[in-house]
Amino acid sequence: MNYQANYDTAITYLRVGLEDRARESLEKTLESVPDEEKTGDNIVYLKTLFLLSKINLEKDDMRKALQYLDEGLRVKKDHADLLFLWALCLGNAKRYDEMFASLITYLVSLTTNDESRYEYEFSGEAALGEVCNKLIPLSYMHSSAPREFCDVVKRLAKTTQSPVMNKVLEAITAINCNGLQR
């Protein structure tokens, strides 16, 4: 069975709630992807790594999840879904500076035209709300270099003219105005 067929089987299992069977099929998918096809252009490969990461995070197997995230981010550094999960892992480890940087990279990645190609799961309003209203403020308040991070966000907001970056800047400004900055 080729890796696309294994992937399709895994998706079917996920749709009917058979997560353990889906994980097994995703692992088979990953095993059968030829090395020369493990690239940032291989959507099935990246989606497999994302789904395995997500399933392992849900099962509280951080080690395996990080392994899959690392593999995916090595071939596509700006993959939004992988960056989102990576940022969550960094937050869980209380590595807030890296979390903040990862979230900013995630937000910038959403300004590229990859979203429809990769069918990102964490690109909708709910995910953006979580990032802008909870995760960015959390990582910013605990960062070791809040001024520098604020400067980066100001430059990005100005350069990209992105409504999302403006929202991030508003969240950071609110933290600063309310005296919550360290």
Name the domain count of the chain.
2
CA dist., res. 42 & res. 140, Å (int): 34
**The pLDDT of residue 15 is above 90:** yes
Contact partners, residue 5, CB within 8 Å, separation at least 6: none
60, 2: one domain = yes
- In a shared domain, residues 98 and 168: yes
Q: Which amino acid is at 156?
A: L
Q: What is the mean pLDDT of residues 55-60?
A: 94
Token pair listed for 66? 């990080």
Give me the chain's average pLDDT, please.
90
**pTM for the predicted model, two decimal places:** 0.90
pLDDT of residue 179: 53
Q: CB under 8 Å to 75, separation ≥6 — which residues?
A: 38, 39, 40, 45, 46
Which residue range(s) make up the domain with 120?
80-182
Does residue 1 have a pLDDT over 80?
no
Q: What is the DSSP letter of 144?
A: S
Neighbours of 1 (CB within 10 A): 11
Ramachandran assignment for 61, one of left (phi > 0), alpha (psi -120 to 50 degrees), beta (any other): beta
Lowest mean pLDDT among 18-32, 63-77, 151-165: 151-165
Domain end (from 48, 76, 104): 76
What whole-number percentage of the chain has pLDDT above 70?
95
Show which of 76, 93, 114 is a domain's final residue: 76
